[in-house]
A and B are shown apart, each in its own frame.
Chain A
């Protein structure tokens, strides 16, 4: 029996006792409307408080109208109308015996005038690595104004009943732009040596402490290592965190890493090992005597407990872990570890949607961000339901339908459940995708859905069984023939006889071997091509990856890879020697050769290749649907409807089951 006593022991921070060591770290939700929080926020935070978390740090709330990267995405803390909403949130959270702090945020030059019609502010006129716009160098008056803005929002937090505030001094935002020698090239008292570069932050700490007094907690979320050449390192962080602690005004430290240029490591994707930066907290804990919180990519209660037990940190911060399963703390405390739906750091539902200015949800948890709106309620009339296809869509539909009281049977033609997601799960770095399958399997087992493996369902079988509803989740098919009639003329490849050609799915499943020199035609322009490239490079092959565009033309709302995942995957490909050619399309292949065409000039180039690997989208398998659609209530979900992503599959599985 695992005993998580350390994780569930209370901790006193700045005079306030927190009931356990789990902290929900601040993250943008995108639930804001017209710049203000909404009922969606209240329900979201209340669900997590109900789930047992000890301390919630609420999303970064803007202190200044001069900096936002999208006015619609961030709560505008500088507006007086925000206070009643803040009060609603604190009341909801306090009802469940959790503490809540407000995070105060000024992004500095992490801002774009495209949204604000104003320039960003910063320590120096050094453009932001992510947004690229030249900021205004802050003079004394602007510095005092920014400090005052922090104090003003702290005052609102006090009035709204927060137990404390957390200063966002991390992720390359304004304070870090002063602290980091990478951004700060000033020559006045706010630039140069460490004491000067810390001055702005120190002024904020003093001003905020002045406003909140000693009854509220003041904490700092800071990076411990910027991971860029010219930025600060953990050795530097040990010095400046010690100085912060010595002021006597800081009650705790919440550590993270990275800055704008190394942003992917702040919300690390799946291929970054779990708990990668806990060592930073462990080292800093040795030089300060205030509680230290370790976070980033921690998704497991046993791991979290070990961090506390080993003395690596006093608290463990999670954002995605609790987004995915708000009941994580309750389940962990009750010892129901298998019931926990673990975050797999796919970023599909959360970070990626935020980057497209959409409210966050979770790939595995469609209820996240839709608390109250997405609920499993009993069905009016129990129906007989056949779910065809044991992939993510089918399993989700079956589980939810069963929970609603329907009579459900799940059919899967292969010997195992999981569907197409099992293919990328074979690749090192993507194997956590199997966690999603594990949880779905556990869910259908717990609710008692009968599963029929090795059963291919035919139209005759359905007619014999006479179900009320058929949910068709039979998935899609691999494209192995890149002919114009299959993939359309613009993305077709003329393949001469004798060419060694294989589909990426078959390569990943081990069904196809490749020669030594491989060219991957990535017409899907998505993860499949990238992970196949890495997979083959790991085998020692010489891999060239050809993509039409490195990013899509219409980047807003496009079907794109989460930028964090993409950046880290590119890093992996670079370090493994994969050649990437972009703005080219593969047009012809013959034994030993592949011809690629420049997207702009239409000029051809020739590449040597032993094998051409093709990575296209997938095709929906419409056979059963076509046969039965006029005779029976048959509803397609997931790839069987249109091959897209796991988040769509699980969403549609959930949705269709609530509709029948």
Chain B
């Protein structure tokens, strides 16, 4: 069973994106990590290999030199080999471009199963896996939560994540491609010796130019381009303030409690007529009965 997992570097989630005055993303402060969904895909591949008892797990990434870090991470987890499709820093490929590069490389490699992360946590596209499968003419199931492979029959049973924990059940033959959802597994943490060894592993590198792509402006394989980034509009801050319709004592109570209101209220008692009067007085005080309403000012007395 030859499993290929396509992985990438993504910008870590808790560092806000900075945008410069011309709408370009400022990349200096970004911290790049192995995209967490891709890490889950690697783990899934390793588990499938372990369950079957044989096979290979090859990791492929498209990116500049720094991207080799994610390959080494995956190798430390237990993958067998890595392939670095080397692009230049600053070159732009959209999902079509990446998919074209991947399929160009993968089509020349033995593959029974292609795994991708469901989406990347920085660009949130979720397109590359589907486009690559399409170019390679493989069946694709997205958001795979559980993958059960019948090695002999070469079929796969897939549970797919829907909303609120619901699952959809699908089946397809191998070879196939899946994008893996985060509920599928919990990735193993590579051991220190494994990470050390991965640091010096030999990784095959092929430039995207060698595959026929350039990434320069005007690169024909892209169908989209990013015109600009804009930071989120500031949401107006809410300030806790007591409402002027509250009594003076209650306004002060609100402030003294730091804005926390203990639920308390007036308790009305008495006959239905008294209760009705009390309710009308309560609503009138809060200006909830307009002056021309038939209840305004009406009392039983």
Contact = CB atoms under 8 A, between A and B. Distances in A.
Contacts of B251: 225, 227, 233
Given A273-B256, A273-B258, A228 B239 contact: no
Given A282-B239, A310-B237, A312-B239, A233 B244 contact: yes
B256 A234 contact: no
A278 B239 contact: yes
A598 interface: no
A226 B253 CA distance: 14
A279 B240 contact: yes
Contacts of A643: none
Nearest to A311: B237
Contacts of B252: 227, 262, 265, 571
B248 interface: yes
7 contacts: A225-B244, A229-B249, A233-B251, A235-B244, A262-B248, A262-B252, A271-B256
Interface in B235-251: 237, 239-241, 244, 247-249, 251
A425 B203 CA distance: 63
Nearest to A277: B255
Nearest to B246: A233
B248 A279 contact: no
A235 B252 CA distance: 15
Interface in A215-271: 225-229, 231, 233-236, 262, 265, 271
Nearest to B253: A575
B185 to A, nearest CB: 42
Interface of B: 237, 239-241, 244, 247-249, 251-253, 255-256, 258
Contacts of B255: 272-273, 276-277
Contacts of A225: 244, 251
Nearest to A265: B252
A239 to B, nearest CB: 11
Given A273-B256, A280-B241, 8 more contacts: A229-B249, A231-B248, A235-B244, A271-B256, A272-B256, A278-B239, A282-B241, A575-B253
Contacts of B239: 278-279, 282, 312
A538 to B, nearest CB: 13
CB-based closest 7 A-B pairs: A279-B241, A233-B244, A235-B244, A279-B239, A273-B258, A227-B248, A276-B255
Contacts of B247: 229
Interface of A: 225-229, 231, 233-236, 262, 265, 271-273, 276-280, 282-283, 310, 312, 568, 571-572, 575
Contacts of B249: 229
Contacts of B240: 279
A262 B255 CA distance: 14
A572 B244 CA distance: 22
Contacts of A233: 244, 251
Contacts of A572: 256
B137 to A, nearest CB: 56
B241 A283 contact: yes
Given A273-B255, A273-B256, A228 B241 contact: no
B87 to A, nearest CB: 37
Nearest to A261: B248
Nearest to B252: A227
Nearest to B262: A575
A405 B252 CA distance: 50
Contacts of B248: 226-229, 231, 262
Contacts of B258: 273
A568 B239 CA distance: 24
Contact of A234 (B237, B244, B253): B244
Nearest to A227: B248
A277 B258 CA distance: 11
Nearest to A273: B258
Contacts of B241: 234, 279-280, 282-283
